[in-house]
Amino acid sequence: MMIIDKVNDIINGHTSNNSLYVFCVFIKENITRIPTMTIEDIAKECYISKGQVSKCIRNLDYQNYEDFLHECDSYIDSLERRQLFFHPKQSLKEKINTFSKNFLKNVQYTQKYFNDIQIEQLLKNIKSSHKIYLYAQGDARSLIYNIQRECNIHHINTIICDVDLKKEYTFTDQDILIVISINGDTFHYDKRIIQRLKKAKVNKWLITCQNGIHFCDNQIIIHCLDSSYHVYMMRYFIDILLLGLQM
């Protein structure tokens, strides 16, 4: 979901009379249409020139229009892969009961596979680091804001990396970089970003629900009974981790 993360960053940081802002609002409202549109179509609907569209695409860190279209396709694909929890005809009470029962089953399963030694080591790294750098996309991005808020309470300097890593970060030996990728989509769709993260000379940690990823030496796998509960189990794990800061 990286394209939407980028778009939201621009919308939140630019004024409405900026061409990049207009372009990003159009993407957010019409992303499912974009793969069938030409660059001329977009320019016409945004009331900007074709050259301005190309400039906006480069500002979003895509090399060309084809690169941009591929990212839009990837986002649409991620939406289609989202699983529905409930049957449309279920009542609210039935939905609550179904979710609660399955959530509890997944919590019990996930908790059983917690690696206490790893979690304690991550907490130790967080508490002893000079700065905590956080990186995530999509659903996981809201989680790193929770981490930052809790770390601030404990006077731990925390920085959220911009989604396309355009900013230059000066890492030191006393810093830590925590990457959260719930389903591993970042590693599948955004290889350029992963290369940038891998090249960063800093103590790295990866937290993910996806097996089979090798990003760094310190990796915590959140084992889930049902993949449709990955997001919820990642939230559960982060809550457990943040409780550990109080110890």
H/E stretch holding 21 reads helix 19-30
pLDDT of residue 84: 64
pLDDT of residue 81: 61
Query: Which CATH entry fits the domain spanning 2-80: 2.70.98.30, 1.10.10.10, 3.40.1080.10, 3.40.50.300?
Result: 1.10.10.10
User: How many other CB atoms sit within 10 Å of the CB of residue 214?
Assistant: 8
Sign, CA torsion 106/182/131/117: positive
Topology match between the domains 2-80 and 113-244: no
Reduce the DSSP state of residue 168 to 3 states and report it. coil
- What is the length of the chain? 247
**Contact in structure between 209 and 224 (CB atoms under 8 Å):** yes
pLDDT of residue 83: 59
* 247 band by pLDDT with thresholds 50, 70 and 90: confident
Mean pLDDT estimate for the chain: 90
| Structure confidence by residue, pLDDT tens digits, 11-40 | 887 777 789 999 999 999 999 999 999 999
| Structure confidence by residue, pLDDT tens digits, 59-95 | 998 889 998 998 898 888 777 666 566 677 889 899 8
Q: In the predicted model, what is the mean pLDDT of residues 225-232?
A: 91
pLDDT of residue 82: 62
pTM above the 0.85 mark?
A: no
Distance between CA atoms of residues 182 and 142, nearest Å: 12
The residue extents of the domains of the chain are 2-80, 113-244
Question: What CATH number should be reported for the domain whose range is 113-244?
Answer: 3.40.50.10490
Ramachandran sector of residue 138 (left: φ over 0; alpha: ψ -120 to 50; beta: rest): left
pLDDT of residue 190: 74
C-alpha 224: how far from chain center: 19
Distance between CA atoms of residues 66 and 72, nearest Å: 10
User: How many other CB atoms sit within 10 Å of the CB of residue 242?
Assistant: 19
- Name the nearest CA neighbour of 114 among 236, 232, 247: 236
